[in-house]
A and B are shown apart, each in its own frame.
Chain A
Amino acid sequence: MEITVNHLMFGLFAAMIMVFSILTVTTRRILRAATFLLLVLVATAGLYFMLNYQFMAGVQLTLYAGGIVVLIIFSILLTSHISQKFEPVGWKKAYFSALASIAGAILCITTILQHKFQATTEAAKEIDMKLIGNSMLSTDRDGYALPFEVISVLLLAAMIGAIVVAKRKKLKE
């Protein structure tokens, strides 16, 4: 197989994802974990670019990297001090969790590699913003108006809920 730039890019992103996701869950400094998570998410956005889902990549960058991770980092800034390091995980817990995770991973990967996926022969659809926008508000067979509205209600609820939960109550001394 001829090596192309695609392979190079994919290898870069895949390596980033694998290394940094493992570092995310094993590092003992919380902000490092968040940073590694950010790198994982950026690399994932890269994968989306490679899959030609540019809009999804943009959403990934905006919402995940620019939104959720920033939120997480903010909460870390509010709740942790730089001198804090996590206790090392107990060997028993670490051992069994690692065993379960590795076993699961091996199982899934073998299954994926053994399975023969059947692709459709239909022509690929060119995904541009117009199509996405129209599908999002369409009520046809391939329309997503209902989930879109439901999500909007969910987001409103989450927004109100977050405000209510985090609102500082008047401390009664």
Chain B
Amino acid sequence: MPFTFSIYDFTGFTQWIDATLRGACSPFWAVLWEMVIVGVLFLAFYAVVGLYLVYAERKVCAFIQNRVGPNRVGPYGFFQTIADLIKLLMKEIISIREADKLLFNLAPFIVIVTSFLALAAIPFAKGLHPIDLNIGVFYVMAISSMGVVGILLAGWSSNSKYSLLGAMRSGAQIISYELSVGMALVTMCVLAGSLQLSVIVEQQRDLWFIFKGHFPAVTAFIIYMIAATAETNRGPFDLAEAESELAAGFHTEYSGIKFAFFFLAEYMNMFIVASLAATVFLGGWMPFHIPGLESFNHVMDFIPPVLWYIGKTAFIILLMMWFKWTFPRLRIDQLLNLEWKFLLPISLVNILIMAFIVLMGWYIGL
């Protein structure tokens, strides 16, 4: 396999790596090396994305609040979060009496591992897709539903009433909003006819699903945005760690690197839901095409898919940050009412409408 590298299609590149490794050592070690490479890459990616999401949040927050934001460490405070990370790593890890040490230590790992696992199924660009499962959307849903376990464990094992209450609130909220997230995604899967993310992206070659599915797709997108924001425990749905009420929610008792894990995982979760939204609603790495306008489509194709993907995800993340710093926090009863009395029924009806539209062929597309 010759070495090929293209910014538009990574298939050849990954295949070259595979062939090279298999040529160099036995299949066992080849697969193992591949795993190591992917793992290291993802760790690095994870760290960078996490850190810079924190930075972005600070900047957005400052912008919305008419401030400057971090501006001392590096240009425009670019290395601020790295400095923060170093500080966190060097902080003393407080051990808590009467806590269940094992679970207390395990909880941040569960949270971070689940977010890490979810990342495995996201298509970043053509050919840059760790595992192309045929149940991709479902897999991401399944993995992210496990993250709540870590939160609950953290809350309980801290032996603190703030943590416990925060964990309970957080768990109830995540479990509830997971349903709407799932329903919104199912709506789009009905349109796509598949759960496989690569297929879903490929099907948006003509037109992104949010346009193709018009009315129900837009509804699903709005629901998804609300529910995903809530599922990631971000404002205005951040009751679980409502600083004014519960100290810091389930991670009140954590410090140092373990706190950093929770912190990082929260931003990674935001990244994951944003990239899933970008993939399912906005075509993932697929450039913006309009059926019939060949020249326009061709121009769009020149922009690399990775950039499309990053742009769309960044747009969604921006939207979520915008929410957080614009809307006031909800009460817990308002939160649950919103989910069970509005979002869930609407999404159920929305699925039916979408199914009907698909059945009648009334979606936009050629």
Interchain nearest-CB distance for A4 vs B (Å): 6
Query: Out of B135, B156, B168, which one reaches A31, CB within 8 Å?
Result: B156
A3-B28, A31-B100, A58-B135 known; A82 vs B157 contact (CB < 8 Å)? yes
Query: Out of B134, B143, B145, which one reaches A67, CB within 8 Å?
Result: B145
Interchain nearest-CB distance for B252 vs A (Å): 15
B166-194 CB contacts (< 8 Å) to partner A: 167-168, 171, 175, 178, 193-194
A64-92 CB contacts (< 8 Å) to partner B: 65-67, 69-70, 73-74, 76-77, 82-83
CB contacts (< 8 Å) of A128 on chain B: these are: 134
Q: Nearest A residue to B141 by beta-carbon distance?
A: A62
Interchain nearest-CB distance for B322 vs A (Å): 29
Query: Out of B35, B142, B152, B194, which one reaches A74, CB within 8 Å?
Result: B152
Query: Out of B99, B135, B152, B193, which one reaches A73, CB within 8 Å?
Result: B152
Query: Out of B31, B102, B167, which one reaches A32, CB within 8 Å?
Result: B102
Interchain nearest-CB distance for A53 vs B (Å): 10
Q: Mark A148-168, 1 if CB is under 8 A from B, else 0.
A: 000000000000000000000
A5-B28, A61-B146 known; A83 vs B98 contact (CB < 8 Å)? yes
Instruction: Give the distance in Å from the alpha carbon of A62 to the alpha carbon of B149 in the complex.
Output: 12
- By the criterion CB–CB under 8 Å, are B103 and A38 in contact? no
Interchain nearest-CB distance for B100 vs A (Å): 6
User: Is B133 close to A, CB under 8 A?
Assistant: yes
CB contacts (< 8 Å) of B171 on chain A: these are: 70, 73-74
Query: Out of A5, A55, A62, which one reaches B145, CB within 8 Å?
Result: A62
A32-B102, A61-B142, A129-B195 known; A77 vs B168 contact (CB < 8 Å)? yes
- By the criterion CB–CB under 8 Å, are B142 and A35 in contact? no
Interchain nearest-CB distance for A12 vs B (Å): 12
Instruction: Give the distance in Å from the alpha carbon of A57 to the alpha carbon of B31 in the complex.
Output: 22
CB contacts (< 8 Å) of A59 on chain B: these are: 142
B15-41 CB contacts (< 8 Å) to partner A: 27-28, 31-32, 35
CB contacts (< 8 Å) of A57 on chain B: these are: 135
Query: Out of A2, A3, A55, A66, which one reaches B135, CB within 8 Å?
Result: A55
User: Is B239 close to A, CB under 8 A?
Assistant: no
User: Is B159 close to A, CB under 8 A?
Assistant: yes
Interchain nearest-CB distance for A30 vs B (Å): 10
Q: Nearest A residue to B140 by beta-carbon distance?
A: A58
Instruction: Give the distance in Å from the alpha carbon of A76 to the alpha carbon of B138 in the complex.
Output: 28
- By the criterion CB–CB under 8 Å, are B167 and A70 in contact? no
CB contacts (< 8 Å) of B153 on chain A: these are: 31, 35, 73
Q: Nearest B residue to A128 by beta-carbon distance?
A: B134
Q: Nearest B residue to A129 by beta-carbon distance?
A: B195
CB contacts (< 8 Å) of B175 on chain A: these are: 70
Q: Nearest B residue to A73 by beta-carbon distance?
A: B152
Instruction: Give the distance in Å from the alpha carbon of A35 to the alpha carbon of B328 in the complex.
Output: 35
Interchain nearest-CB distance for A82 vs B (Å): 5
Interchain nearest-CB distance for A41 vs B (Å): 10
- By the criterion CB–CB under 8 Å, are A82 and B159 in contact? yes
A55-B138, A82-B157 known; A73 vs B149 contact (CB < 8 Å)? yes
Interchain nearest-CB distance for A126 vs B (Å): 9
CB contacts (< 8 Å) of B145 on chain A: these are: 61-62, 65-67, 70
CB contacts (< 8 Å) of A5 on chain B: these are: 27-28, 31-32, 35
Instruction: Give the distance in Å from the alpha carbon of A4 to the alpha carbon of B155 in the complex.
Output: 40
Instruction: Give the distance in Å from the alpha carbon of A29 to the alpha carbon of B104 in the complex.
Output: 13
User: Is A54 close to B, CB under 8 A?
Assistant: yes
User: Is B139 close to A, CB under 8 A?
Assistant: yes
Q: Nearest A residue to B155 by beta-carbon distance?
A: A77
Q: Footprint of A on B, CB under 8 Å? A: 27-28, 31-32, 35, 98-100, 102-103, 106, 133-135, 138-139, 141-143, 145-146, 148-149, 152-153, 155-157, 159, 164, 167-168, 171, 175, 178, 193-195
Q: Footprint of B on A, CB under 8 Å? A: 2-5, 8, 29, 31-32, 35, 38, 42, 54-55, 57-59, 61-62, 65-67, 69-70, 73-74, 76-77, 82-83, 128-130
Top-3 shortest CB links A-B: A66-B145, A61-B142, A62-B142
A-B contact pairs, 19 of them (CB 8 A): A5-B31, A5-B35, A8-B28, A31-B153, A31-B156, A32-B100, A38-B149, A42-B146, A57-B135, A62-B142, A66-B142, A66-B148, A70-B145, A73-B152, A73-B153, A73-B156, A74-B152, A77-B167, A77-B168
